[in-house]
Amino acid sequence: MSASAQQLRLMAVHAHPDDESSKGAATMCRYLAEGVDVLVVTCTGGERGSILNPAMDRPGVLENMAAIRREEMERARQILGVRQEWLGFVDSGLPEGDPLPPLPEGCFGLMDPEVAAEPLVRLMREFRPHVVLTYDENGGYPHPDHIMCHKISVVAFDAAADPDRYPGTGDPWQPLKLYYHQGWSRARFTALHEAMLAAGLESPYAEWLARWDAEDGEDKGDRVTTRVVCGEWFARRDEALRAHATQVDPNGFWFKVPLSIQQAVWPTEDYELARTLVDTTLPEDDLFAGIRAPVGVAG
């Protein structure tokens, strides 16, 4: 998996197959078009995922979810054009109920982050990313696998350059920037909502925004430091998302806003710069700001 020392490299660490297509997919496509080497790391196989597309709710699907989701991931990978590696952990499922049931024994969400980070450290030392994308401390939303994905990403980012940690997993390598996905901002959904109404269309966000107001929910937009213009690749993002047919209803929420409105109103994918070892100026419009010149790649 070696890459040229002069080539920029981006690693996106995700909890399940389909997360890479719903979070940051257009960003990855943009950077691929610029010649960046992009690797998606998928922590679990999504074995305990529910069937979220009515068209896939048929005999044999749930029983073969692990194999089907691997096939879906491969289709999405081909559409996006990225490389992809599995860490091999077992999906925790999303616990529901009051009180919440315990997580199943042996699942990713119950792992010791220091132990679970080892295969990710190995991949970081092998792929040698300059930038790492992952979720924030809340997992983006509080799924146990997303939270654990955050934990091991932070451990690996800090440990990969330390020769005394994780011996036998390759030569040390220091990623230069760590970002968290922050796409679920109130400002973004409000802008899309208002644009839909202005176009005389029904907004899919009305109920969601009303509930957000009633609950005084956190606005992730307050944490955004970096907006990557990538509207040109929204169509490919959606195609990759549809490839995850068990998880995504092609007639559902994700696709209610026409691409033309999305591209005009909010043509970026948004991130929070969590760690940097290079000088940069906020706000940014490039995940590789502060990195391009030192590695000899033209902007």
Residue 218: what pLDDT?
66
For residue 171, what are the contacts with CB-CB under 8 A and spacing of at least 6?
A: 125
Residue 100: what pLDDT?
84
CA 264, distance to chain mean position in Å, is 23
Residue 216: what pLDDT?
62
- Rounded CA-CA distance 113/242 in Å is 32
- Rounded CA-CA distance 48/50 in Å is 7
Residue 96: what pLDDT?
87
Task: Per residue of the chain (299 residues), give pLDDT as tens.
Answer: 434 447 999 999 999 999 999 999 999 999 999 999 999 999 999 999 999 999 999 999 999 999 999 999 999 999 999 999 999 999 999 988 888 899 999 999 999 999 999 999 999 999 999 999 999 999 888 899 999 999 999 999 999 999 999 999 999 999 999 999 999 889 999 999 999 999 999 999 988 888 877 766 667 668 999 999 999 999 999 999 999 999 999 998 889 999 999 999 999 999 999 999 999 999 999 999 999 865 544 33
- Please name the amino acid found at residue 104: P
pTM confidence score: 0.93
Residue 285: what pLDDT?
97
3.40.50.10320, 3.40.50.2300, 3.40.630.10, 3.60.40.10: CATH of 9-183+267-276: 3.40.50.10320
Residue 210: what pLDDT?
87
Residue 3: what pLDDT?
41
Q: Where in the chain is the domain with CATH 3.40.50.10320?
A: 9-183+267-276
Residue 97: what pLDDT?
82
CA-closest candidate to residue 88, choices 24, 45, 34, 36: 45
Strands 9-14 and 37-44: parallel
